[in-house]
Amino acid sequence: MQLIKKEFDKGGGGSLTLVAENSEDLWHVYNLVMIGDQVRTTTIRKVTRETATGSQESERVRLTLTVDVTNIEYDAAGGEMRIRGKNRSDTPHVKLGSFHTLELELNRKFTLTKVLWDEVDIQVIQRATDPTASAEVGAVVMNEGLANVCLVTDSMTLVRQRIEQAIPRKRVAAAFGHEKALKGFFENTMNSILRHIDFAVVKVVIIASPGFIKDQFFDYMMLEAQRRDLKQLLENKGRFLLCHSSSGHKHALNEILADPNVAAKLSDTKAAKDTRALNDFYTMLNTDADRAFYGYKHVNEANNQGAIATLLVTDTLFRNVDVPTRARHVQLVEDVQAGGGTVCFFSSEHSSGAQLAELTGVAAILRFPIPDIGDDDEEDESEEDEDDEHPGFESDDGEELDMFSL
């Protein structure tokens, strides 16, 4: 996602001008836009005008509109997002206050304005506008004459450079031409790694190919690194992982990442950490239940006692249209981070996020046991969770919502 313009302060109002570059960006936008926000972008509107002869004719006009958001639709399969709201733009084609639907499309600039940008909004923007900051896995999927240099985040794969180069067939008469072209191909691939992979962030770099191309390339790269004293490669030699792949195309990464042996070696990446955090929670729940809580009431009580070591939370909680409900979960995240705890955000698009959603969407692993938090209010807890999942209903506990109102 491109950040074109920024005019906001954390904890205050303002606007961001953004461009979504892929379907993953639209998912981040879906997690940002809330009912009551304002969205401004170009759109096509069919308008009817009367001609000099008294007849009517219609035409499609491109407009720039600002709407107060009243409804948000996101189609994950189609990669589409529609925002309906009341028009706030002064234009002869659309009346003020009339309803209009804007479609947020890839590579189309839009401006999002909020009355309040909270901590969760800031973290979503940081993840969306700098995907390389969360890409802990690099990958080079290659074949002779073809290489895709990629960054793998917890939710997507970004191709940073595709290298294609003609390599003459390896015949006795053309052996020299073959070796020279192959060396040039390896050189371009190595330079792409140096340019696109930040070893300060990336923990593992997968090099995969059919046959022995990966081994030949890795040997070439290490020899060149020694010859030219490329410390960036020499000091991180142990981070390279050589794997077999069926082809040199990007889609071959799926089979590589699904390999249990590879997954074990990627155990320190963010996606693996989140999955491990959920598994640790289930283990703690079975072995030491006084150190594993779920549901907002119990987790918040543990937070009030400074006991949370790891907070697990789904992104759906921050799309709640009920402002007090969203606000209290944002406050929970800020409190845990301020207290030195770790916060793991789970995407509802992933199986781990769906599992956490079954546990109300919020859970915590504690630093120390708290046996005094009773279970006598489990029924109230379940009612509250239903309110969280169905934001159109108000909680029966009016006093509690008032307590967290803005």
* Domain final residue, candidates 210, 245, 265: 265
Residues 357 and 246 reside in one and the same domain: no
User: What is the overall mean pLDDT for the chain?
Assistant: 82
Nearest to 136 by CA among 257, 40, 258, 7: 257
Q: What is the pLDDT of residues 292-346, one digit of tens each?
A: 999 999 999 999 999 999 999 998 888 776 778 888 888 999 899 888 898 888 8
Residues 99 and 154 reside in one and the same domain: no
Q: What is the pLDDT of residue 184?
A: 94
Q: What is the pLDDT of residue 77?
A: 62
Residues 142 and 120 reside in one and the same domain: no
Residues 274 and 399 reside in one and the same domain: yes
Residues 70 and 170 reside in one and the same domain: no
Residues 226 and 275 reside in one and the same domain: no
**Residues 357-379, mean pLDDT to the nearest whole number:** 79
Domain count, the chain: 3
Query: Distance of CA 218 to CAs 168, 208, 297, Å?
Result: 21, 10, 53
Residues 303 and 258 reside in one and the same domain: no
Residue 385 counted as domain residue: yes
* Domain final residue, candidates 78, 97, 131: 131
**Residues 177-202, mean pLDDT to the nearest whole number:** 91
Residues 275 and 312 reside in one and the same domain: yes
CATH number assigned to the domain comprising residue 91: 2.30.30.870
Domain of 385, in residue numbers: 270-403
Residues 70 and 141 reside in one and the same domain: no
Least reliable range by pLDDT among 253-267, 330-344, 377-391: 377-391
Q: Is 336 exposed, middle or buried (0-12, 13-18, 19+ CB in 10 A)?
A: buried
Residues 245 and 297 reside in one and the same domain: no
**Percent of the chain at pLDDT exceeding 90:** 40
146-152 and 137-143 beta bridge pairing: antiparallel
Residue 342 counted as domain residue: yes
Q: What is the pLDDT of residue 83?
A: 93
Q: Is 377 exposed, middle or buried (0-12, 13-18, 19+ CB in 10 A)?
A: middle
- Does the pTM surpass 0.85? The reply is no
Give the distance between the most distant pair of CA atoms in the chain: 86
Residues 123 and 31 reside in one and the same domain: yes
Q: What is the pLDDT of residues 76-134, one digit of tens each?
A: 666 678 999 999 988 888 888 889 899 998 888 999 999 888 888 888 887 778 766 66
* Domain final residue, candidates 224, 244, 265: 265
90 contact partners, CB below 8 Å, separation of at least 6: 96
Residues 126 and 171 reside in one and the same domain: no
